[in-house]
Structure 1
Amino acid sequence: MQRYFAALTIVLMLGMVLTRACVMRRTGVRALKFGALDKRDFLIPPFAFFYFYLVFAAAFGWPAVSTQAFFESDPIAWAGVALCAAGLAVLLWSLVSFGRSFRVGIDADHPDKLVTTGIFAFSRNPIYVGFAFIVLGQFLVFPNWILLVYVGAATWLFHRQVLLEERFLKRHYGQEYLEYCGRVRRYL
Protein backbone atom coordinates (compact mmCIF):
# COMPACT_ATOMS: atom_id res chain seq x y z
CA MET A 1 0.00 0.00 0.00
CA GLN A 2 2.74 2.47 0.98
CA ARG A 3 4.59 1.72 -2.27
CA TYR A 4 1.58 2.59 -4.41
CA PHE A 5 0.99 5.86 -2.58
CA ALA A 6 4.64 6.84 -3.03
CA ALA A 7 4.30 6.24 -6.79
CA LEU A 8 0.95 8.05 -6.91
CA THR A 9 2.65 11.03 -5.27
CA ILE A 10 4.69 11.60 -8.43
CA VAL A 11 1.58 11.55 -10.60
CA LEU A 12 -0.25 13.96 -8.29
CA MET A 13 2.77 16.28 -7.96
CA LEU A 14 3.31 16.52 -11.72
CA GLY A 15 -0.43 16.79 -12.29
CA MET A 16 -0.76 19.74 -9.92
CA VAL A 17 2.16 21.67 -11.42
CA LEU A 18 1.25 21.01 -15.05
CA THR A 19 -2.45 21.73 -14.48
CA ARG A 20 -1.55 25.05 -12.85
CA ALA A 21 0.76 25.91 -15.75
CA CYS A 22 -1.96 25.03 -18.31
CA VAL A 23 -4.59 27.10 -16.48
CA MET A 24 -2.22 30.05 -16.41
CA ARG A 25 -1.40 29.58 -20.09
CA ARG A 26 -5.11 30.02 -20.89
CA THR A 27 -5.03 33.38 -19.13
CA GLY A 28 -2.01 34.47 -21.16
CA VAL A 29 0.74 33.73 -18.62
CA ARG A 30 3.57 31.44 -19.68
CA ALA A 31 4.47 29.84 -16.35
CA LEU A 32 7.03 27.33 -17.64
CA LYS A 33 10.32 29.26 -17.66
CA PHE A 34 12.54 26.36 -16.58
CA GLY A 35 16.00 26.71 -18.11
CA ALA A 36 15.40 30.17 -19.53
CA LEU A 37 18.27 31.75 -17.59
CA ASP A 38 20.51 28.80 -16.77
CA LYS A 39 21.04 26.53 -19.77
CA ARG A 40 22.56 23.82 -17.54
CA ASP A 41 19.01 23.07 -16.35
CA PHE A 42 18.56 20.87 -19.43
CA LEU A 43 20.57 18.25 -17.50
CA ILE A 44 17.87 17.93 -14.83
CA PRO A 45 14.96 16.30 -16.76
CA PRO A 46 16.81 13.05 -17.66
CA PHE A 47 17.76 12.56 -14.01
CA ALA A 48 14.20 13.39 -12.92
CA PHE A 49 12.73 10.87 -15.37
CA PHE A 50 15.18 8.22 -14.13
CA TYR A 51 14.09 9.01 -10.57
CA PHE A 52 10.43 8.65 -11.54
CA TYR A 53 11.22 5.30 -13.15
CA LEU A 54 13.06 4.11 -10.02
CA VAL A 55 10.06 4.92 -7.83
CA PHE A 56 7.61 3.23 -10.20
CA ALA A 57 9.93 0.24 -10.61
CA ALA A 58 10.14 -0.19 -6.84
CA ALA A 59 6.38 0.19 -6.45
CA PHE A 60 5.34 -2.17 -9.24
CA GLY A 61 8.22 -4.67 -9.33
CA TRP A 62 9.68 -3.51 -12.65
CA PRO A 63 13.35 -4.14 -13.47
CA ALA A 64 15.58 -1.82 -11.44
CA VAL A 65 19.25 -0.99 -11.11
CA SER A 66 19.22 -1.94 -7.43
CA THR A 67 16.61 -3.56 -5.23
CA GLN A 68 18.78 -3.76 -2.11
CA ALA A 69 17.12 -1.94 0.80
CA PHE A 70 18.85 -0.44 3.84
CA PHE A 71 15.97 -1.57 6.05
CA GLU A 72 12.39 -2.80 5.93
CA SER A 73 9.99 -1.23 8.38
CA ASP A 74 6.27 -0.65 8.00
CA PRO A 75 6.22 2.21 10.55
CA ILE A 76 9.06 4.00 8.73
CA ALA A 77 7.36 3.41 5.36
CA TRP A 78 4.12 4.89 6.77
CA ALA A 79 6.16 7.88 8.01
CA GLY A 80 7.37 8.20 4.41
CA VAL A 81 3.76 8.15 3.18
CA ALA A 82 2.93 10.88 5.71
CA LEU A 83 5.85 12.98 4.43
CA CYS A 84 4.67 12.47 0.83
CA ALA A 85 1.15 13.55 1.80
CA ALA A 86 2.52 16.57 3.67
CA GLY A 87 4.64 17.44 0.64
CA LEU A 88 1.60 17.32 -1.64
CA ALA A 89 -0.38 19.48 0.78
CA VAL A 90 2.43 22.06 0.97
CA LEU A 91 2.73 22.02 -2.83
CA LEU A 92 -1.02 22.54 -3.29
CA TRP A 93 -1.11 25.37 -0.74
CA SER A 94 1.89 26.93 -2.51
CA LEU A 95 0.21 26.81 -5.91
CA VAL A 96 -2.93 28.39 -4.50
CA SER A 97 -0.96 31.06 -2.61
CA PHE A 98 1.12 31.90 -5.66
CA GLY A 99 -1.88 33.02 -7.68
CA ARG A 100 -0.82 34.56 -11.00
CA SER A 101 2.81 34.82 -9.84
CA PHE A 102 3.46 31.06 -10.20
CA ARG A 103 6.41 30.22 -12.47
CA VAL A 104 8.57 27.15 -13.02
CA GLY A 105 11.96 28.82 -13.23
CA ILE A 106 12.82 32.51 -13.22
CA ASP A 107 10.70 34.80 -15.40
CA ALA A 108 12.96 37.81 -15.91
CA ASP A 109 10.75 39.19 -18.69
CA HIS A 110 7.34 39.19 -16.99
CA PRO A 111 7.69 38.76 -13.23
CA ASP A 112 4.52 39.27 -11.26
CA LYS A 113 4.05 40.71 -7.77
CA LEU A 114 6.05 39.42 -4.80
CA VAL A 115 3.93 36.88 -2.93
CA THR A 116 4.25 37.11 0.87
CA THR A 117 0.85 35.80 2.00
CA GLY A 118 -0.67 32.35 2.41
CA ILE A 119 2.00 29.72 2.92
CA PHE A 120 4.62 32.28 1.88
CA ALA A 121 4.07 33.98 5.24
CA PHE A 122 5.73 30.90 6.81
CA SER A 123 8.36 29.92 4.23
CA ARG A 124 9.92 31.84 1.36
CA ASN A 125 10.30 28.61 -0.61
CA PRO A 126 7.41 26.31 0.26
CA ILE A 127 7.38 24.52 -3.10
CA TYR A 128 10.94 23.33 -2.52
CA VAL A 129 10.01 22.33 1.03
CA GLY A 130 7.11 20.31 -0.41
CA PHE A 131 9.38 18.66 -2.99
CA ALA A 132 11.93 17.85 -0.27
CA PHE A 133 9.21 16.23 1.87
CA ILE A 134 8.18 14.10 -1.11
CA VAL A 135 11.73 12.99 -1.99
CA LEU A 136 12.53 12.17 1.63
CA GLY A 137 9.20 10.38 2.06
CA GLN A 138 9.81 8.28 -1.03
CA PHE A 139 13.23 7.32 0.29
CA LEU A 140 11.62 6.13 3.54
CA VAL A 141 9.21 3.99 1.52
CA PHE A 142 11.95 2.71 -0.84
CA PRO A 143 15.15 2.90 1.26
CA ASN A 144 17.83 2.05 -1.29
CA TRP A 145 21.16 3.68 -2.00
CA ILE A 146 20.09 5.22 -5.34
CA LEU A 147 17.18 7.10 -3.78
CA LEU A 148 19.48 8.18 -0.95
CA VAL A 149 21.79 9.71 -3.56
CA TYR A 150 18.74 11.43 -5.06
CA VAL A 151 17.82 12.88 -1.64
CA GLY A 152 21.28 14.48 -1.47
CA ALA A 153 21.24 15.63 -5.11
CA ALA A 154 17.73 17.06 -4.81
CA THR A 155 18.68 18.95 -1.67
CA TRP A 156 21.67 20.47 -3.47
CA LEU A 157 19.65 21.30 -6.62
CA PHE A 158 16.77 22.86 -4.68
CA HIS A 159 19.18 25.02 -2.68
CA ARG A 160 21.05 26.02 -5.86
CA GLN A 161 17.79 27.11 -7.48
CA VAL A 162 16.71 29.00 -4.36
CA LEU A 163 19.99 30.97 -4.38
CA LEU A 164 19.50 31.84 -8.08
CA GLU A 165 15.94 32.97 -7.42
CA GLU A 166 16.97 35.00 -4.37
CA ARG A 167 19.54 36.92 -6.42
CA PHE A 168 16.87 37.76 -8.99
CA LEU A 169 14.29 38.70 -6.33
CA LYS A 170 16.75 41.03 -4.55
CA ARG A 171 17.49 42.82 -7.82
CA HIS A 172 13.88 43.00 -8.95
CA TYR A 173 12.01 43.76 -5.70
CA GLY A 174 14.80 45.42 -3.71
CA GLN A 175 13.90 46.62 -0.24
CA GLU A 176 10.48 44.94 -0.28
CA TYR A 177 12.17 41.55 -0.73
CA LEU A 178 14.85 42.28 1.88
CA GLU A 179 12.17 43.16 4.44
CA TYR A 180 10.33 39.95 3.56
CA CYS A 181 13.58 37.98 4.11
CA GLY A 182 13.86 39.58 7.54
CA ARG A 183 10.39 38.32 8.50
CA VAL A 184 10.23 34.87 6.93
CA ARG A 185 12.70 31.98 6.93
CA ARG A 186 14.17 30.60 3.73
CA TYR A 187 12.77 27.09 4.25
CA LEU A 188 11.15 26.23 7.60
Structure 2
Amino acid sequence: MARYIAATTLFLLVILVLSRAFQLKRLGIKVIHFGELDKKDFLIPPFALLLFYIVFASAFGLPKVGAELFHNEFVGFLGVAMCVMGILLFLYALISFGKSFRVGLDEDHPGELVTTGAFSISRNPIYSAFGLALIGIFLIIPNWILLIYVFTGIWLFNRQILLEEQSLKKIYGDKYTEYCKRVRRFL
Protein backbone atom coordinates (compact mmCIF):
# COMPACT_ATOMS: atom_id res chain seq x y z
CA MET A 1 0.00 0.00 0.00
CA ALA A 2 2.80 2.48 0.89
CA ARG A 3 4.40 1.94 -2.53
CA TYR A 4 1.17 3.00 -4.20
CA ILE A 5 1.27 6.19 -2.11
CA ALA A 6 4.82 6.86 -3.33
CA ALA A 7 3.67 6.47 -6.95
CA THR A 8 0.57 8.58 -6.29
CA THR A 9 2.72 11.31 -4.73
CA LEU A 10 4.86 11.63 -7.86
CA PHE A 11 1.79 11.54 -10.08
CA LEU A 12 -0.01 14.21 -8.01
CA LEU A 13 2.98 16.55 -8.00
CA VAL A 14 3.19 16.46 -11.78
CA ILE A 15 -0.59 16.83 -12.22
CA LEU A 16 -0.70 19.77 -9.79
CA VAL A 17 2.12 21.62 -11.58
CA LEU A 18 0.63 21.01 -15.03
CA SER A 19 -2.92 21.90 -14.01
CA ARG A 20 -1.74 25.16 -12.42
CA ALA A 21 0.32 25.93 -15.52
CA PHE A 22 -2.73 25.39 -17.77
CA GLN A 23 -4.95 27.49 -15.49
CA LEU A 24 -2.56 30.42 -15.65
CA LYS A 25 -1.99 29.96 -19.39
CA ARG A 26 -5.72 30.57 -19.89
CA LEU A 27 -5.21 33.89 -18.09
CA GLY A 28 -2.41 34.77 -20.53
CA ILE A 29 0.43 34.03 -18.09
CA LYS A 30 3.34 31.96 -19.38
CA VAL A 31 4.32 29.73 -16.47
CA ILE A 32 6.87 27.30 -17.91
CA HIS A 33 10.29 28.98 -18.27
CA PHE A 34 12.26 25.78 -17.84
CA GLY A 35 15.71 25.98 -19.44
CA GLU A 36 15.40 29.52 -20.75
CA LEU A 37 18.15 30.99 -18.55
CA ASP A 38 20.08 27.79 -17.83
CA LYS A 39 20.29 25.19 -20.62
CA LYS A 40 21.60 22.60 -18.15
CA ASP A 41 17.98 22.29 -16.95
CA PHE A 42 17.45 19.96 -19.90
CA LEU A 43 19.63 17.36 -18.18
CA ILE A 44 16.91 16.89 -15.55
CA PRO A 45 14.10 15.13 -17.54
CA PRO A 46 15.98 11.85 -18.25
CA PHE A 47 16.79 11.52 -14.56
CA ALA A 48 13.20 12.36 -13.65
CA LEU A 49 12.00 9.59 -15.96
CA LEU A 50 14.31 7.10 -14.22
CA LEU A 51 12.94 8.22 -10.85
CA PHE A 52 9.39 7.67 -12.10
CA TYR A 53 10.29 4.24 -13.45
CA ILE A 54 11.93 3.11 -10.20
CA VAL A 55 8.92 4.21 -8.14
CA PHE A 56 6.28 2.85 -10.50
CA ALA A 57 8.21 -0.41 -11.01
CA SER A 58 8.28 -0.93 -7.26
CA ALA A 59 4.59 -0.12 -6.86
CA PHE A 60 3.28 -2.10 -9.82
CA GLY A 61 5.64 -5.10 -10.00
CA LEU A 62 7.61 -4.10 -13.09
CA PRO A 63 11.25 -5.18 -13.53
CA LYS A 64 13.27 -3.34 -10.88
CA VAL A 65 16.34 -1.19 -11.21
CA GLY A 66 18.70 -1.08 -8.23
CA ALA A 67 18.46 -2.93 -4.94
CA GLU A 68 16.71 -1.91 -1.74
CA LEU A 69 18.92 -1.12 1.22
CA PHE A 70 16.50 -2.25 3.95
CA HIS A 71 12.87 -3.06 4.66
CA ASN A 72 11.13 -1.57 7.68
CA GLU A 73 7.38 -0.97 7.86
CA PHE A 74 7.65 1.78 10.47
CA VAL A 75 10.14 3.69 8.32
CA GLY A 76 7.78 3.15 5.38
CA PHE A 77 4.92 4.72 7.36
CA LEU A 78 7.18 7.69 8.17
CA GLY A 79 7.73 7.97 4.43
CA VAL A 80 3.98 7.97 3.82
CA ALA A 81 3.57 10.76 6.38
CA MET A 82 6.32 12.79 4.68
CA CYS A 83 4.71 12.27 1.26
CA VAL A 84 1.34 13.46 2.59
CA MET A 85 2.96 16.47 4.27
CA GLY A 86 4.83 17.23 1.03
CA ILE A 87 1.62 17.14 -1.05
CA LEU A 88 -0.27 19.30 1.47
CA LEU A 89 2.56 21.85 1.65
CA PHE A 90 2.77 21.87 -2.14
CA LEU A 91 -0.98 22.55 -2.43
CA TYR A 92 -0.76 25.31 0.18
CA ALA A 93 2.17 26.86 -1.70
CA LEU A 94 0.33 26.72 -5.05
CA ILE A 95 -2.68 28.42 -3.51
CA SER A 96 -0.46 31.00 -1.80
CA PHE A 97 1.45 31.65 -5.03
CA GLY A 98 -1.68 32.71 -6.90
CA LYS A 99 -0.82 34.16 -10.31
CA SER A 100 2.90 34.46 -9.48
CA PHE A 101 3.58 30.71 -9.92
CA ARG A 102 6.39 29.98 -12.41
CA VAL A 103 8.48 26.96 -13.39
CA GLY A 104 11.96 28.37 -13.96
CA LEU A 105 13.15 31.95 -13.76
CA ASP A 106 11.00 34.65 -15.38
CA GLU A 107 12.70 38.00 -15.06
CA ASP A 108 10.55 39.65 -17.74
CA HIS A 109 7.13 38.97 -16.14
CA PRO A 110 7.81 37.75 -12.59
CA GLY A 111 4.46 38.55 -11.00
CA GLU A 112 4.12 39.97 -7.49
CA LEU A 113 6.44 39.01 -4.66
CA VAL A 114 4.45 36.56 -2.53
CA THR A 115 5.20 36.73 1.21
CA THR A 116 1.96 35.42 2.71
CA GLY A 117 0.44 31.98 3.23
CA ALA A 118 3.01 29.22 2.79
CA PHE A 119 5.59 31.88 1.96
CA SER A 120 5.29 33.33 5.45
CA ILE A 121 6.79 30.14 6.93
CA SER A 122 9.35 29.39 4.20
CA ARG A 123 10.75 31.35 1.28
CA ASN A 124 10.77 28.11 -0.68
CA PRO A 125 7.76 26.01 0.30
CA ILE A 126 7.57 24.30 -3.09
CA TYR A 127 11.17 23.09 -2.90
CA SER A 128 10.58 22.11 0.74
CA ALA A 129 7.51 20.13 -0.38
CA PHE A 130 9.49 18.40 -3.14
CA GLY A 131 12.21 17.58 -0.60
CA LEU A 132 9.70 16.11 1.86
CA ALA A 133 8.12 14.03 -0.91
CA LEU A 134 11.47 12.81 -2.23
CA ILE A 135 12.70 11.76 1.22
CA GLY A 136 9.30 10.17 1.91
CA ILE A 137 9.48 8.17 -1.32
CA PHE A 138 12.97 6.96 -0.40
CA LEU A 139 11.76 5.84 3.04
CA ILE A 140 8.95 3.89 1.37
CA ILE A 141 11.18 2.46 -1.37
CA PRO A 142 14.70 2.47 0.10
CA ASN A 143 16.41 1.81 -3.23
CA TRP A 144 20.07 2.89 -3.30
CA ILE A 145 19.44 4.81 -6.53
CA LEU A 146 16.68 6.79 -4.80
CA LEU A 147 19.13 7.62 -2.01
CA ILE A 148 21.37 9.20 -4.65
CA TYR A 149 18.31 11.07 -5.92
CA VAL A 150 17.63 12.43 -2.43
CA PHE A 151 21.14 13.86 -2.09
CA THR A 152 21.27 15.07 -5.69
CA GLY A 153 17.76 16.52 -5.46
CA ILE A 154 18.57 18.48 -2.33
CA TRP A 155 21.75 19.77 -3.96
CA LEU A 156 19.82 20.78 -7.12
CA PHE A 157 17.03 22.43 -5.11
CA ASN A 158 19.63 24.46 -3.24
CA ARG A 159 21.38 25.39 -6.50
CA GLN A 160 18.11 26.54 -8.05
CA ILE A 161 17.14 28.46 -4.91
CA LEU A 162 20.44 30.36 -4.96
CA LEU A 163 19.88 31.26 -8.64
CA GLU A 164 16.33 32.36 -7.91
CA GLU A 165 17.44 34.43 -4.92
CA GLN A 166 19.88 36.37 -7.13
CA SER A 167 17.09 36.99 -9.62
CA LEU A 168 14.57 37.99 -6.93
CA LYS A 169 17.05 40.45 -5.39
CA LYS A 170 17.51 42.02 -8.81
CA ILE A 171 13.74 42.22 -9.44
CA TYR A 172 12.39 43.19 -6.01
CA GLY A 173 15.44 44.80 -4.35
CA ASP A 174 15.06 45.89 -0.72
CA LYS A 175 11.57 44.41 -0.47
CA TYR A 176 13.01 40.93 -1.08
CA THR A 177 16.00 41.55 1.22
CA GLU A 178 13.64 42.49 4.08
CA TYR A 179 11.53 39.40 3.38
CA CYS A 180 14.69 37.24 3.61
CA LYS A 181 15.43 38.65 7.05
CA ARG A 182 11.94 37.69 8.30
CA VAL A 183 11.44 34.24 6.75
CA ARG A 184 13.64 31.13 6.66
CA ARG A 185 14.89 29.68 3.36
CA PHE A 186 13.43 26.25 4.20
CA LEU A 187 10.96 24.96 6.77
> TM class by shorter-chain length?
over 0.9
Q: 1:48 aligns to what? A: 48
Q: 2:6 aligns to what? A: 6
Percent identity for Structure 1 against Structure 2: 55
1:117 aligns with 2:113: no
Q: Distance in 2 between matches of 1:11 and 1:69?
A: 22
Q: 2:32 aligns to what? A: 32
Q: 1:145 aligns to what? A: 144
RMSD: 0.7
Give the partner amino acid of 2:3. Answer: R
- Consecutive unaligned residues of structure 2, counting only runs of 5 or more, are none
Offset of residue 115 of structure 1:
0.3
Aligned residues: 187
Offset of residue 92 of structure 1:
0.3
Q: Distance in 2 between matches of 1:50 and 1:65?
A: 9
TM-score scaled by structure 1?
0.98
Q: Distance in 1 between matches of 2:7 and 2:83?
A: 10
1:160 aligns with 2:159: yes
Offset of residue 34 of structure 1:
1.0
Q: Distance in 2 between matches of 1:48 and 1:65?
A: 14
TM-score scaled by structure 2?
0.98
Q: Distance in 1 between matches of 2:156 and 2:58?
A: 23
Q: Distance in 1 between matches of 2:97 and 2:136?
A: 24
Q: Distance in 1 between matches of 2:142 and 2:120?
A: 33
**Could you list the per-position Cα deviations for residues 54-93 of structure 1 after superposition, in whole angstroms to 9, with x for gaps in the alignment?**
1101111111222x22211111101101100000001000
Offset of residue 36 of structure 1:
1.0
Give the partner amino acid of 2:72. Answer: S
1:97 aligns with 2:96: yes
- The 5 Å alignment of 1:52-67 reads 52-66=52-66
1:71 aligns with 2:70: yes
- The 5 Å alignment of 1:168-187 reads 168-187=167-186
Give the partner amino acid of 2:38. Answer: D
- Consecutive unaligned residues of structure 1, counting only runs of 5 or more, are none
Q: Distance in 1 between matches of 2:19 and 2:40?
A: 25
Offset of residue 136 of structure 1:
0.1
Q: Distance in 1 between matches of 2:79 and 2:112?
A: 35
